[in-house]
């Protein structure tokens, strides 16, 4: 007779492995492995940027390329689809450049919090802001839309 507990364990393990394998898988690659059109697009848009790394990712069966760069004090990650173009731009942002609505949302949700770092994330026409807020001894990761609406807020367990 088969032990049902073992069968359930095997099923849970198999299901978990399937989920993990479908998540974004990224690997660092050399410039030569990035399609020339992606490189040309990046260099045209950001001629003064210094490239830190290249990655290849699988997003839902589509191969994408991420270019991580710096330009002065701005850190920028751009994800390109070989067929579509730019999918996402993530840029560090000076806290003073945050829209008033975003700052007010932080004040409303964490009145004693101080914004520690900020990033602007652009996906097509959608813009969100990813913030790290220091509130007392804890750090909180927040995502806020361009209108000041809270998308998510979670405590960072460790640095």
Q: 77 and 41 in one domain?
A: yes
Nearest-angstrom CA–CA distance, 122 and 86 = 10
Residue 114: domain span:
93-159
Q: 134 and 107 in one domain?
A: yes
Q: Report the chain's mean pLDDT, rounded to a whole number.
A: 85
Q: How confident is the model at residue 17 (pLDDT cuts 50, 70, 90)?
A: very low
**Pick from 138, 14, 121: nearest CA to 130:** 121
Question: What are 58-105's pLDDT values in tens digits?
Answer: 988 899 999 999 999 999 999 999 878 999 999 999 999 999 999 999
Q: Which of 52-56, 133-137, 155-159 has the highest mean pLDDT?
A: 52-56
Q: What is the pTM of this model?
A: 0.78
Tell me whether residue 4 is in a domain: no
Tell me whether residue 135 is in a domain: yes
Domain ends where: 64, 91, 118?
A: 91
**Pick from 93, 86, 94: nearest CA to 64:** 86
């Amino acid at each position: 007779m088969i032990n049902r507990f073992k069968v359930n364990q095997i099923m849970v393990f198999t299901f978990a492995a399937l989920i993990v394998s479908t998540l974004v898988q990224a690997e660092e690659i050399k410039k030569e492995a990035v399609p020339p059109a992606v490189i040309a697009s990046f260099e045209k848009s950001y001629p003064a940027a210094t490239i830190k790394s290249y990655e290849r990712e699988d997003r839902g069966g589509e191969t994408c390329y991420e270019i991580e760069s710096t330009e002065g004090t701005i850190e920028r990650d751009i994800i390109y689809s070989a067929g579509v173009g730019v999918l996402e731009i993530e840029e560090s942002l000076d806290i003073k450049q945050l829209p008033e609505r975003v700052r007010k949302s932080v004040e409303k949700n964490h009145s004693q919090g101080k914004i520690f770092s900020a990033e602007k994330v652009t996906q097509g026409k959608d813009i969100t802001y990813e913030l790290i807020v220091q509130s007392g001894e804890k750090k909180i990761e927040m995502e806020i839309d361009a209108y000041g609406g809270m998308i998510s807020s979670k405590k960072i367990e460790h640095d």
